[in-house]
Structure 1
Amino acid sequence: MENGGAGRPVVYVLGAAAGAVFGLPGAVREARGRGWEVAVGLTPTARGWLEAQVPELEELTGYPVKSAYRWPGQPDVLPPPDAVLFAPATFNSFNSLALGLTTSWVVGYAAEALGKGVPVLVMPCVNTALAAHPQFVRSVATLRGAGVHVLLGAGGFVPSEPGSGDARPYPWDAALRAVAEVLGR
C-alpha cells in the first residue's frame, strides 16, 4: 500500500479529546520515523487542547491539521490514506463511529474510510466503567464486525478504574505496530 510521495504509505492519525491526545505529536514523529507520510485530524476540542502544537504538526507532516469539514467546492488537500488510525477515541467518538453519527470531521472521515475499504484501526481511551457500558460493548462488536481493528485489551488499550488518572501510559507503540502490520499485508 503506497499512496504517498516517494512510495511511502499514507497514514491518517485522528484524535479525540482524551488526555492521551497529548501524546499524539510524539506518535506522529514516530510514524514519520517509520517512513510513513502522515496527515493529522483532530476533533475541535482536541485541536483546542493541542493548538500550540498545531504549527509543529503541520510542519512535520506538510499538511494542515484538519478538524472541520471542507466547504463544497474546496479541494481536498490531503492524499488518500493507506490506513487510518483513530487514537485516542473517546467514549463519545467511539460510539458515534459505531452508530454512524458523524458530528465531527474525524468521526466522519473514519466512517467514510471504512466504507471505502481503507483499513481503520481504533484505539479507545475510556475507563473501566465506560468500557462496561452496554453501548460501548455493542460498539466494540459492531466495529469489529465491520472489519475495524479495535485495539482494546491485551496488545492494545487496557482501561483503568475511574478516577485513577493515567494509571497506565497510553500504548501509542502498540497502535503504531498494529498500523505497520496492516500496511505490511
Structure 2
Amino acid sequence: MTTLYLFGSAAPPVFEVADVIADAQQCGWDVCLGLTPSAARWLKKDVPGLERLTGHPVRSEYKLPGQPDVWPEADVILLAPATFNTINQWALGITSTFVVGVLAEGIGKRIPTVAMPCVNAAYVQHPQFDTSVGTLRTAGVTVLYGPGGFEPNQPGERRPYPWRLALDAVAGRTVRPA
C-alpha cells in the first residue's frame, strides 16, 4: 500500500479532512494525518475519530529524540489546505512546526510533494507569497495555485475547496525522481 502524508493547515477546508481521508483510502492510500498546531486545536475533538479512520496517530508535534517513528515512510506528501503562513514558513525554511519540518526535509529526501493553498485575495497581494510559491516550485513541489489550481477567494467568501484536484495531483506524483 502506498503511504500518503496528508498535512493540513488551519483554514476552513481542514474541517472536511475525514471525507478526504476516506476518499484517499478508497484510492488505495494508507493515510497519515499531520496538522499544524492551529489546525490541531481546531480539530481537537475529532482527533480520536481521525486516528481510528487512519489507523495512525494524528501528529502535530515533533517526536522526542530517540523516540521511534510511529508512521510508515511517506511515498508522497499532500499539504492541503495550505495557509499563507504555512506556505511562507516552508519556502523560507522556518521549521518551527512538525508539518513544516517534514515538508522541508521532504524536499531534500526527494519525496514527491503537492501543495494546494487556501488563501484569500488580500493575502496573495503580499509580495512574499508569489516568491514563496516560486521557491517551492523551483524545489520540485507541485503547487496547485492559479489557473487550473486553487484560485483565491475574496476575504470572507466561501467556495468549495477543490480536494479532488489535490488527490488527483498526488496520484500523479507517486514516483520519486531519480
What TM-score bracket applies, with the shorter chain setting the length? over 0.9
Amino acid across the alignment from 1:34: C
Q: Is 1:91 the counterpart of 2:84 in the alignment?
A: yes
Residues 1:175 and 2:166 aligned together:
yes
What CA distance in whole angstroms lies between the structure 2 residues aligned with 1:83 and 1:27? 15
Q: Secondary structure at the match of 1:183?
A: coil
1:108 equivalent among 101, 126, 145: 101
Report what 1:65 is aligned to.
Answer: 58
Q: Hey, what does 1:46 align to over in structure 2?
A: 39
Separation in structure 2 between the aligned mates of residue 95 and residue 77 of structure 1, nearest angstrom: 27
Tell me the secondary structure at the aligned position of residue 14 of structure 1: strand
More displaced 10-residue stretch of structure 1: 11-20 or 154-163: 154-163
Segments of structure 2 that go 5 or more residues without pairing to the other structure are none
Q: Does 1:130 align with 2:101?
A: no
| 1:184 CA displacement | 6.6
**Aligned counterparts of 2:15 and 2:66: Cα–Cα separation in 1:** 33
RMSD, aligned α-carbons: 1.2
CA distance in 1, matches of 2:96, 2:162: 27
SS of equivalent to 1:136: helix
TM-score of the superposed pair, with normalisation by structure 2: 0.95
Q: Which segments of 5 or more consecutive residues in structure 1 lack a partner in the other structure?
A: 1-7
Q: What is the total number of aligned residue pairs between the two structures? A: 176
Q: Do the aligned residues in 1 keep the contact of 2:112 with 2:175 (CA within 8 Å)? A: no
SS in 1 for 2:172: helix
**Alignment deviations for residues 132-185 of structure 1 (CA, whole Å, 9 cap, x no partner):** 210001001101011100011233211111232x1x211111000101111278
Aligned CA distance change for structure 1 residues 114 and 184 (closer, same or farther; 3 Å): closer
Percent identity over the alignment is: 53
Residue in structure 2 matching 1:77, options 48, 54, 70: 70
Displaced runs of 4 or more, over 2 A: none
Q: TM-score, normalised by structure 1?
A: 0.92
